[in-house]
Amino acid sequence: MTTPFDALSNDEKQQQFTEFFLIKHQLNVNFRTIDKAEIPAVDQLEEHMPYAFKIAGELASVEAQAIRPLRNLSSHAAELAEFLNAQARKIDIMMSYILHQQDDESMRYKSVRFGGGGIEVHSDHPLDAGTSVELKIFLSEEAAAVFCYAEVISCETIEDGYQIAFIFSRIRESDQELLVRASLHLQAQQLRKRSESNRVQ
């Protein structure tokens, strides 16, 4: 049986954070510190999510399910597949626009690394370990965004500020899967670019 997040020790939280693959990549991130009392129960997370994030998650899930069968279509259905992919792209563009409105410049930070277990963010100001935050992560490459709650597990001083590591304390399973997929997509792109540059050299 999985131990509830709130019952984990600091060491267990650190271990859980590193269990997931983390990729170095800059994303726009919004966060604001909150009192622990503001964090909803696990089964009430969706009730506290902004509507744009709810529908973004549902659209991403529907799109993934709709596109999957296309891989099994014969070459005769290539035009149909192309048409459906174009429709999916239209939805992605519209969703990107809607989610962009949720990105508050006054609360904007840049990620250093992210993965399915948490995210590291560059900040001008330190935060104490154990601080709770409401977190928005914008995945422009996936035309998606994630709304969740997180906790500071470390804050390191670096040359131009602080690198803060957040572990997700309340996150939908579908959003966690989205972050895992996004990190793997980005890794594949990075490996392709590296392979191409090696060939050119």
User: Which CATH number fits the domain that encloses residue 24?
Assistant: 2.40.10.220
Average pLDDT over residues 4-10: 84
pLDDT value at residue 195? 78
Is residue 132 assigned to a domain? yes
- Model confidence band, residue 128 (pLDDT cutoffs 50, 70, 90): very high
- Model confidence band, residue 27 (pLDDT cutoffs 50, 70, 90): very high
Work out the percent of the chain whose per-residue pLDDT is above 90. Answer: 50
pTM of the model: 0.83
- Residue found under tokens 């370990």: 129
Enclosing domain of residue 84: 10-36+44-200
**Count of domains for the chain:** 1
Residue 82's Cβ-count burial label (10 Å; 0-12, 13-18, 19+) is exposed
Is residue 179 assigned to a domain? yes
Helix axes 51-67, 173-200, angle to 10 degrees: 60
pLDDT tens, residue by residue, 43-85: 999 999 998 888 876 776 666 666 666 666 666 677 777 777 7
Q: How far apart are CA 28 and CA 48, in angstroms?
A: 21
Ramachandran region of residue 135, left (φ > 0), alpha (ψ -120 to 50) or beta? beta
